Amino acid sequence: MRTEAPLDAATVESLLAAAVAAPSIHNTQPWRFRLDPDRQVLEVHSAPERTLPLTDPMHRAQYLSVGAAVFNLRLAAVHLGLRPEVRLLPDSHEPGLLAAVRLTGRLGADDQPSDPGLYEAIARRHTSRMPFTGRPVPEPIVAEMARAAQSADARLHLPDIAGTRRLLHLTAVAEARNHAHPARTAETLTWLTAPGSDAPYGVPVTALGPPDAGRRIPMRDFTASISAIRRPALWFERHVQLALLWTPHDRREDWLRAGQALQYVLLTATAHGLRTSLLHQAMEWADLRAATALPRHKRCHPHVVIRFGYGPDGAGTPRELGHFAARPAAPSATDTESG
């Protein structure tokens, strides 16, 4: 039985606009949304046709991306005065249903509204693949980023100089392996879009950055080194600031949690005027992913390396808003959900 006022079209549109602004690997936007108007539930489904079989065979990066979208959805709901109840993987019979967000009504007087700075950061956050200035980020901001990860059931490790070198080295090894793997290179290239393209997915060449002239930071080369589209090298920051996001377990729900944590960290950084980019290459090779784990923690499952600092903003990337459908309202209370 419906007990709440139905979600109006403008509300649903605002929720979805926030959700799809999330980062996703190669901007694949591997999600699809469905509204069940009868239960006031916005479902987040996997979009299997927008996954990366070679780069992400286990779909872990896809789940991270979807988790980031779910986090945005939660923030937008609270911004609109709605109370979101999130269930991850709510139906074992429907593995493609990754999350269900029930919008239970208006926030009560005792409900904590989320930090408005975070909601505003959703639209301002872009991946910045340009050199940063190297100005150190103040410790309280870094601590806030770590708290954000922790409160979303993940951890943020801030490596020392040796640890930073190690993460950069493992990423460089992964980047070299990707280059030497023609099929992976081809897969990545299919997600690169030309200037003027109206493709709603993929990474536009305008959003790419240059390679590091100092060869210290192995930014992902989406261009397969095609010189016509590759930017000339520039010197990147000497004092690179990295963070490793990890979780104590490595199940599908942990990947979704890690994605929410990732977005919480990125938005916290953005709200403080920082720029961020991601180095995921090492996570795409099982042995290198294992090598990024912290030796002191028995159960450390790494997910992504975050590079952060001060610098130029990243360019905007496109989004598809059309992946939305309303589930037909249930004709009777005895009907069961059929997927």
Ligand X SMILES: Cc1cc2nc3c(=O)[nH]c(=O)nc-3n(C[C@H](O)[C@H](O)[C@H](O)COP(=O)(O)O)c2cc1C
**Which residues would be at the binding site for ligand X (CB under 6 A)?**
23-27, 61, 64-65, 68, 126-127, 129, 203, 220, 277-281, 304, 314, 317
Nearer to ligand X, 40 or 263 (CB): 263
DSSP letter assigned to residue 130: S
Helix/strand/coil for 10:
helix
CB of 326 to ligand X, least distance (A): 27
150, amino acid identity: Q
Neighbours of 323 (CB within 10 A): 18
Contacts 24+ apart (CB under 8 A), 162-168: 164/240, 164/242, 166/292, 167/242, 167/244, 167/279, 167/282, 167/292, 167/305, 168/216, 168/217, 168/218, 168/240, 168/242
Q: Token digits for 339?
A: 């997927």
Nearer to ligand X, 40 or 65 (CB): 65
CB of 334 to ligand X, least distance (A): 41
Nearer to ligand X, 51 or 281 (CB): 281
Q: Token digits for 309?
A: 């600092």
Nearer to ligand X, 40 or 277 (CB): 277
CB of 164 to ligand X, least distance (A): 17
Return the closest-CA partner of residue 281 out of 172, 155, 181, 154. Answer: 172
DSSP letter assigned to residue 272: T
Minimal CB distance to ligand X: which residue? 23
What are the residues facing 302 on neighbouring strands?
246
CB of 186 to ligand X, least distance (A): 17
CB of 121 to ligand X, least distance (A): 12
Nearer to ligand X, 82 or 203 (CB): 203
Nearer to ligand X, 43 or 56 (CB): 56
In DSSP notation, 215-258 reads S-S----TTTT-TTTSPPPBPPPSS-EEEEEEES--SHHHHHHH
Q: What is the pairing mode between strands 203-204 and 155-157?
A: unpaired
CB of 107 to ligand X, least distance (A): 28
Nearer to ligand X, 37 or 200 (CB): 200
CB of 64 to ligand X, least distance (A): 4
Cα–Cα dist 88/99, whole Å: 4
